[in-house]
């Protein structure tokens, strides 16, 4: 999988160049609403095009699922690239320098390669299944906290699923009471990458999409962490409900969150 990681990194950096250039000329960026509080810019689309074109130069038969371009089936549907060209579009459009490119390769339903790239800080988080996780070429590991004392937690508000806010607010209160502090930075892919690097101790969010999760999921697992849905299962790519931490902290987190959930989220 190393050659495919090389291509993923190349694609992420090309998209990052598009994004960084756009960020330096925000007055030229066009912003449109896909839905309430869900934005897309011309830079999202240009970055996704750069990613797909770069990958297709080496793997013309592969398939793609992208936030902007939807599903594009190639001749080989065993290899699917899952792409978020600009995770944190709202931050980008408002001039907040916290966003990232997220690229994952899934082979026959299993994620084999993951890359999350922050073009502003030039931080590239990467992983190949079975080979560990890295930040700019250096090995990273999840944090070692054994309980919630003095932890730094990360989350995202369910702004696309506001009907879930009552449930979410219960989980927020519970974690806020036991943890040291909570951050909501606005880019799930970076939150997951930061957890893999030990910057955050636990992350949870509701209603995410596969392109938000796929790369960061692998990077966390290769950094020694655990990722699951709110029931402790592995349906988070489908449900969008995700919680991640080191194994000991995750087990405690599930005990906190599970009693607060409605029946449909406990399954």
From 92, 90, 73, 89, select the one nearest 81 (Cα to Cα): 73
- Domain end (from 139, 162, 177): 139
pLDDT of residue 86: 96
CATH number at residue 101: 3.30.540.10
Give the pTM. Answer: 0.94
Q: Are residues 103 and 214 in the same domain?
A: no
DSSP characters over 113-149: EEEEEETTTTEEEEEETTS-EEETTEE------SSST
Same domain for 25 and 98, yes or no, is yes
Q: What is the count of structural domains for the chain?
A: 2
Whether residue 111 sits in one domain with residue 20: yes
Opening angle at CA 27, ends 21 and 32, nearest 5: 95
pLDDT of residue 133: 98
Same domain, 126 and 156: no
Asked whether residue 144 is assigned to any structural domain, the reply reads no
Average pLDDT, stretch 72-101? 94
Give the pLDDT band of residue 110 (cuts 50, 70, 90).
Answer: very high
Burial class (CB in 10 A: 0-12, 13-18, 19+), 177: exposed
pLDDT score of 69: 75
Q: Which structural domain range is residue 9 located in?
A: 2-139
Residue 145 lies in a domain: no
Q: Are strands 133-135 and 138-139 parallel, antiparallel or unpaired?
A: antiparallel
How confident is residue 159, by pLDDT bands cut at 50, 70 and 90?
Answer: confident
In a domain? residue 212: yes
pLDDT of residue 73: 84
> Rounded distance, CA 227 to CA 246, Å?
9
Q: How confident is the model at residue 38 (pLDDT cuts 50, 70, 90)?
A: low
| DSSP-assigned letters across all residues of 71-84 | EE--SEEEEEEEEE
* Whether residue 99 is found in the same domain as residue 222: no
Pair (21, 81) in one structural domain: yes
């Amino acid at each position: 999988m190393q050659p495919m990681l090389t291509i993923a990194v190349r694609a992420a950096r090309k998209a990052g160049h598009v994004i960084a250039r756009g960020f330096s000329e925000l007055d030229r960026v066009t912003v449109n609403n896909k839905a309430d509080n869900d934005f897309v810019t011309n830079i999202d689309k240009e970055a996704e095009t750069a990613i797909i074109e770069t990958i297709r130069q080496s793997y013309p038969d592969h398939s793609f699922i992208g936030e902007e371009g939807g599903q594009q089936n190639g001749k080989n549907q065993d290899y699917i690239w899952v792409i978020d060209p600009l995770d944190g579009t709202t931050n980008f459009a408002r001039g907040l320098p916290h966003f990232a490119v997220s690229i994952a390769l899934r082979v026959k339903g299993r994620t084999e390669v993951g890359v999350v790239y922050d073009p502003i800080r030039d931080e590239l988080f990467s992983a190949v299944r079975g080979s560990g996780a890295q930040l700019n070429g250096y090995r990273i590991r999840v944090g070692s906290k054994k309980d919630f004392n003095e932890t730094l937690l990360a989350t995202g508000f369910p702004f696309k699923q506001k009907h879930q806010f009552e449930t979410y607010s219960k989980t927020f209160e519970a974690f806020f009471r036991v943890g040291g502090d909570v951050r909501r930075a606005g880019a799930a892919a970076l939150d997951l990458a930061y957890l893999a690097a030990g910057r955050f101790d636990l992350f949870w969010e509701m209603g995410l999409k596969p392109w938000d999760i796929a790369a960061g999921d692998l990077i966390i697992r290769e950094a020694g962490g655990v990722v699951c849905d709110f029931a402790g299962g592995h349906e988070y790519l489908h449900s969008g409900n995700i919680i991640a931490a080191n194994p000991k902290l995750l087990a405690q987190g599930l005990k906190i969150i599970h009693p607060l959930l409605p029946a449909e989220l406990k399954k």
